[in-house]
Structure formats: structure tokens, C-alpha cells
Amino acid sequence: MKVNWFKFAAPANFYPVAGWLVSVFAVLAAAAILIGLYWGFFETPSVLGGTNPQKEYYRIIFIHVPAAWMSMWLYLVLAGWCAIGLVFNTRLSYMMAAAVAPTGAIFTFLALWTGALWGRPSWGTYWDWDPRLTSELILFFLYLGYIALHSAIDDTRRADKAAALLAIVGLICVPVIFWSINCPDPTQCAALHQRSSLSQMESNILSSMLIMAFGFWMYSFAAAFARLRGIILEREADTAWVQELATKEARR
Amino acid sequence: MGRAFLSLLRRDITLAMRRRTDVLTTLFFFVIVVSLFPFGVGSEQQILRQLGPGVVWVAALLASMLALERLFAADYEDGTLEQLLLTRHPLSLLVLAKVTAHWLLTGLPVVLIAPLIGMQYYLPETAIVAMMLALLVGTPVLSLVGAIGAALTLGLRGGGILLSLLILPLYVPVLVYGAGAVTAAFTTPAESQPYFYLLGAFLVLSLILAPLASAAALRISLE
């Protein structure tokens, strides 16, 4: 079967598809998050580690780690759609980018917030200038910058392009910022590597965390598509098909 | 192409020299911000020595940002910028000329006044030399990266505040290594060498990429 993908690059054609996709991804997200939470809360050990064990509070990783993953992944998605928009000049890509940004910002904030809640019992402090925390904070600022620039420009075409350029500049800077914070002293770079290995985790914890990550990913799809539908309607409000849709809705 | 670069550079510097207050305000802003800190945190030698490198760098970031708003604004208002876009010379080269002028007027004075600031903060001689060098390599990066933000926020309401939100996160690497170089030079100057290599790498990277990005941003803003 041959599908003409560019057909769906037109907002009018993608709008009904997005509506269908929202419900599919919402169901998947709800199912995965329910399973993941149940598994994470009831099927995993309640104490973790040897000499200085983590108690029940370690379960925050079922929210924290997936949120942190999604925050980084969604920035890549955002910059990807921005790049596609700048290259092919397709309106829908910019709308997609604008729809993804708030979800990404929310996940970044969630990762920071849950990280603080975890840090209090285990490190004794809500905030520490740890490399990971700091680079996550910078990522949050980058999301805010994108959203702020986009909403500050009234002309949508200019807003889309300017914010897209900013997202791509940010993307180049993210690894640089990450390494500069991760390794503030270049002479001792090797000693500072802090890495956690997925293979060393207990299998129940790992599976429920991965299911939660999948659930969050599906949620991102659902939220982005729902927001996209709103953005499409707003921007295409003057076109015939939206007017038609509105009269049809009104008659119902 | 070289002639276009030089003539634009000369024009920008001449224009700025006719209105010297603009240049001097940035410099005095830097000096005042740095001098305010001892009032806030106390004038103990040990504390100031520790804070010095970071304070100087943060003040340098803010001063460079304050001046960025004016980088393209005047040319945008009187239409010169549009004419620049229409010339046959590559826009990134012209942007580079404007950024160079901007750095000569705001970055270089900060580098030159750094020793005085260093003495205010009881920094040892080796650290003062390192601070001048680090500022010399680091402030051009600030101007180059900042130009992207200045081009993106051209002619917007509240552009200045927005500019800080966009650009300050991108300044973090320069801040980390710039301040790190000064601190490392407290005892032995040789220890700050890796920091200078990294700052130099940032400079080269931004020298190549930032004018291209700023040129693209200007095209978007003036479309």
C-alpha cells in the first residue's frame, strides 16, 4: 500500500487523523501507567541497596526517571520538527513543535520536582548543584525560552521560524552545556563520571520503570496531538473547512 | 569582501564614538555591579577572594547582555539593516563585522578594567593575569552567541527581558570555564591551561557557527 505522506502535511487532512490518534494514545498511556504503577508499588522489593538502604521512597524513580527521559527526548523531537519546518517550510511541523514544547517543559519540571522530593530523604537536601540537576534546570530554561519567544511574536510565521532557530541553537548547545557542568574541572574529567547501569537493576523495578516510560511516551503523543488540534483550529479559523466544522458542531 | 567587513566595522565604531555614553554606561554598569557585591556579602578578604572570579564573570555576562539590545536595534529602526541584507556580500560576514565592533566597544573595555576589579577582590597576581586572558577569550563568545538572540528578538515588545531569558542559559559553559580558569590560577598558573583550551574551542566554534545562525535569524526577523 502506498501512502502519500505529504497529504497529511496539510492541517485540514491531519486534523481528523489527530483526533483519532489522541484516543488511541490516551488509552495506551492510561493502560501502561496503570500497569506500571501497580507493578512498581506492589510487586517490587520495599528496601533497596546494602549498607545504606533506600526505603520506600526509592519508588519515586517510577515517575522521576521516565519524566527525565521524556524531557530530554521531547527536546530532540521539538528540535527535529523545527528543523523539518525550516527545511521543508511545512506549517504543520511548526504546529507540531509548538504542541510538543509545553509537554516537554512539564516533564522537565516534573523531573526536577520529583528529584527534589527524592533528594530530601536520601541526600538530606532538596537541591544540590549536582551536574544532572543543573543540566536539567538549563534544559527547563531552554524550553521556557522557546515558549516565551514563540508567544512574544505576534506574527505566527515569524514566531514559528524564530523559535525554531532558537530550538536548534539550543540543541547544539545542550551537549556543550551538559559536559561543561558534568565536568567543571577538565583536569579531573574521568573521576567525575557518574553513571548508573540499567543492567544492574532489579528486574521487577526495571520492568515497571520501562513500562512507566512507555506510558509517559504515549501520554506525550496524546497530549501533543490534542494540543495540535487546538493549534490547527486556532490558526485555520478563517478557512472554509473550519467554518464548516463549526456549523456542523453547532447543529449537533 | 574584506573591504565590506572593514568599512562596516569602521562605521559602527565611528557611530559609537559619536555617542560615547552608550559605551561608557556598559562599562560603568560592569564596575558598579562588581563593586556592589562587597556591600552585600561583607568585605572579608577570604570570602571576596572566593567570590571574585564568579562575580566578575556574571557581571561581564550581564554587561554584555545589556549592550546586546543595541546591536541591531538602531540599524533596524532607520532601515540600514534592510539595505545590508540586500547587498551582494554574505550576510554572515556583515554580522561578524557588527559583532566585532560590538565586542571592541563593550568586551574589550571590560578586559582592560579587569585588573582593577581583581585588586578590589584581593585576587593574587597570577589570577588577575588569568582573568584578563580568560575574559579576552571568553567575551567574544558572549558577543557572538548573544548576537543570535539580539537578531531573534529584533523589534519585539520587551525584547531586552526576553533576550536574557533566551541567551543566559547558553552562556553557562563560558561562565563555568571562565571562572574556573581564574580559580585554578590562584596557586599555579599552569593549572588553568585546560580551561583556556576549552574556552578557545568555544571561541572557534561560535566564530564559525554563530554568524551563520545570526544571519538566518536576521532574515527571519526582517522577512
Of A144, A152, A186, the CB nearest to B194: A186
A173 contacts in chain B (CB < 8 Å): 169-170, 173
Cα separation of the two ends of chain B: 24
Rounded mean pLDDT, A164-193 = 71
Of B165, B195, B217, the CB nearest to A162: B217
User: B166 vs A145: CB contact, 8 Å cut-off?
Assistant: yes
Amino acid at A220: S
B197 contacts in chain A (CB < 8 Å): 186
User: A149 vs B195: CB contact, 8 Å cut-off?
Assistant: no
User: A157 vs B223: CB contact, 8 Å cut-off?
Assistant: yes
Q: Tell me which of B106 and A8 has the higher pLDDT.
A: B106
With an 8 Å Cβ cutoff, the interface of chain A facing chain B consists of 138, 141-142, 144-145, 148-149, 152-153, 157-158, 161-162, 165-166, 169-170, 172-173, 176-177, 180-181, 184-187
The pLDDT-based confidence of A188 (bands split at 50, 70, 90) is low
Instruction: Give the range with max mean pLDDT: A88-92, A118-122, A182-186, A190-194.
Output: A88-92
DSSP 8-state assignment for residue B127: H
- List the one residue out of B91, B69, B99 whose CA is nearest residue B159: B69
DSSP 8-state assignment for residue A239: S
CA distance A107 to B177: 29
Scan for cell 564568579, then name that residue: B54
Rounded mean pLDDT, A122-146 = 83
CA distance B19 to A119: 53
The pLDDT-based confidence of A74 (bands split at 50, 70, 90) is very high
Contact call for residues A139 and A130 (beta carbons, < 8 A) = no
Instruction: Decide if B116 touches A, using CB distance below 8 A.
Output: no
- Kindly report the pTM of this predicted structure: 0.86
* pLDDT reported for residue A192: 40
- List the one residue out of B92, B99, B80 whose CA is nearest residue B1: B92
The pLDDT-based confidence of A191 (bands split at 50, 70, 90) is very low
Is the per-residue pLDDT at A199 higher than 70?
A: no
User: B169 vs A181: CB contact, 8 Å cut-off?
Assistant: no
Dihedral sign of CA atoms A214, A217, A222, A223 in order: positive
* pLDDT reported for residue A182: 64
Scan for cell 540543541, then name that residue: A171
Amino acid at A10: A
How many Cβ contacts (< 8 angstroms) between chains A and B? 77
Is the per-residue pLDDT at B193 higher than 90?
A: no
Nearest CA in chain B to A179: B173
Contacts of A143 (CB under 8 A, 6+ apart): A75, A101, A104, A105, A108
A127 CB-contact burial (10 Å; exposed 0-12 / middle 13-18 / buried 19+): middle
Furthest-apart CA pair in chain A: how many Å?
71
Contact call for residues B206 and B144 (beta carbons, < 8 A) = yes
The three grid cell numbers given for residue A95, joined into one nine-digit string: 504546529
> In a mutagenesis test of the B interface, which of A169, A174, A188 is the best target, namely the one with the most B β-carbons within 10 Å?
A169
B165 contacts in chain A (CB < 8 Å): 141, 144-145, 148
> Which SS3 state, helix, strand or coil, does residue A55 take?
coil
Of B152, B197, B209, the CB nearest to A149: B152
Q: At what angle do helices A91-123 and A203-235 cross, to 10 degrees?
A: 140
* pLDDT reported for residue A194: 46
Q: Quote the minimal CA–CA distance from B172 to chain A in Å.
A: 7
User: A169 vs B176: CB contact, 8 Å cut-off?
Assistant: no
> In a mutagenesis test of the B interface, which of A158, A168, A181, A188 is the best target, namely the one with the most B β-carbons within 10 Å?
A158
B149 contacts in chain A (CB < 8 Å): 166
A169 contacts in chain B (CB < 8 Å): 148, 170, 213
Cα separation of the two ends of chain A: 36
The pLDDT-based confidence of A49 (bands split at 50, 70, 90) is low
> Which SS3 state, helix, strand or coil, does residue A238 take?
coil
Output the CA–CA distances (angstroms, integers) from residue B114 to B34, B44, B62, B146, in the order listed: 10, 20, 15, 21
B182 contacts in chain A (CB < 8 Å): none
The complex scores an ipTM of 0.85
Instruction: Tell me the per-residue pLDDT of A75-88, one tens digit each, with 9 for 90 and over.
Output: 999 999 999 999 98
